[in-house]
Amino acid sequence: MLIFKKTNETIEFRRQQMNISIGFVPTMGALHEGHLNLVKISLKENDFTYVSIFVNPLQFNDKKDLEKYPKNTDRDIKLLESIGTNALFLPSFEEVYNSSVQYDEINLDDWNSILEGQKRQGHFEGVIKAVSILFKIIMPHRAYFGLKDYQQVKIIEQLVIDKGYPIEIVSCSTVREQDGLAMSSRNAVLSPDAKKSAPKIYQWLLKAKKMYHSGRSVEEIKATIIREINDEKHFQLDYFEIRDAHDLSEIKSREQKTVALIAVFLDGIRLIDNIELT
């Protein structure tokens, strides 16, 4: 696997790659099966796959969260090599933000008034800055994102449309532990006790789906699930919502494609997940 640390070297190498399809999986490291699944899909669908590892400080609205964010680059490199990744871009902060490549911005007003955008002010601005720079450096034909970060996928789709990048955004299903817990780099910092409770998150989503299909109203489902979360002493609710699957607006009719989204703190660690209801 090639490893690039410098933006200019990466751009130079990439410019020489002509007439081949390029896949790209941007990550913040602490890789797990969810990331590796994205890389494997990209390897199948493209001639050459880049992965980036960059813990982007601009998207952490909470400094403590950034400090706690797990890092294990040596292990990440071995994992990427073991599945045949072609190249890793492993830049420093300066290589991303003080290079010749400028970030793009999009209007995030609507996204910032709901769910992750509302709870984590500045988060999506940070994501867009890093992703737009990475896209300009790697210039992929396809970029792969996990649907666990549902709102992030929608915002990156908007970035590509608004800025006219010739990139296909491929959204991939959430990979789960056997007990249902969505794979996340943050799982690595859960205490053993918290790990035992964590599968409840997916169980609440499954229950919401079952209730939805048995004809219960959105209000009734929300009230039931929120009550159950509040009854669990290790969990603190951030939000539980049922929304339109395309733009995450409030549901107006049962004809809409619908998604349930949850964010909780489990012993102080923030975890998110979602499930498509229809």
Catalytic machinery residues: 35
Token pair in block for residue 277? 């209801």
- Choose which of 131, 198, 201, 229 interacts with ligand PAF (CB under 6 A): 131
- 3-state SS, residue 226: helix
> How many of the other CB atoms lie within 10 Å of CB of 18?
5
Binding of residue 130 to ligand PAF (CB under 6 A): yes
- Find, among 50, 51, 48, the residue nearest to 20 by Cα: 48
* Burial environment of residue 64 by CB neighbours within 10 A (0 to 12, 13 to 18, 19 or more): exposed
User: 3-class secondary structure for 128-162?
Assistant: HHHHHHHHHHHCCCEEEEECCCHHHHHHHHHHHHH
For ligand PAF, the closer CB: 59 or 258: 59
- Least distance CB 24 / ligand PAF (angstroms): 10
- The nearer residue to ligand PAF, 125 or 241, going by C-beta atoms, is 125
CA atoms of 90 and 101, how far apart (whole Å): 16
With CB under 6 A, what is the number of residues at the site for ligand PAF?
A: 10
- 169: exposed, middle or buried (Cβ count in 10 Å: 0-12, 13-18, 19+): middle
Taking CB under 6 A as the binding criterion, the range among 125-133, 193-201, 211-219, 251-259 that sits at the site for ligand PAF is 125-133
Residues in Cβ contact with 64 at an 8 Å cutoff, skipping those fewer than 6 apart: none
Q: Is 143 in the site for ligand PAF (CB under 6 A)?
A: no
CB of 183 to ligand PAF, least distance (A): 12
Query: Which residue among 46, 49, 59, 258 contacts ligand PAF (CB under 6 A)?
Result: 59
Verify binding: residue 56, ligand PAF, rule CB under 6 A: yes
Told to check if 127 binds ligand PAF by CB under 6 A, we report yes
Per-residue contact string for residues 15-34; x = within reach of ligand PAF by CB under 6 A:
-----------xxx------
Q: Does 7 bind ligand PAF (CB under 6 A)?
A: no
Taking CB under 6 A as the criterion, the residue among 76, 149, 241, 273 binding ligand PAF is 149
**Which residues lie near ligand PAF (CB under 6 A)?**
26-28, 56, 59, 127, 130-131, 149, 152
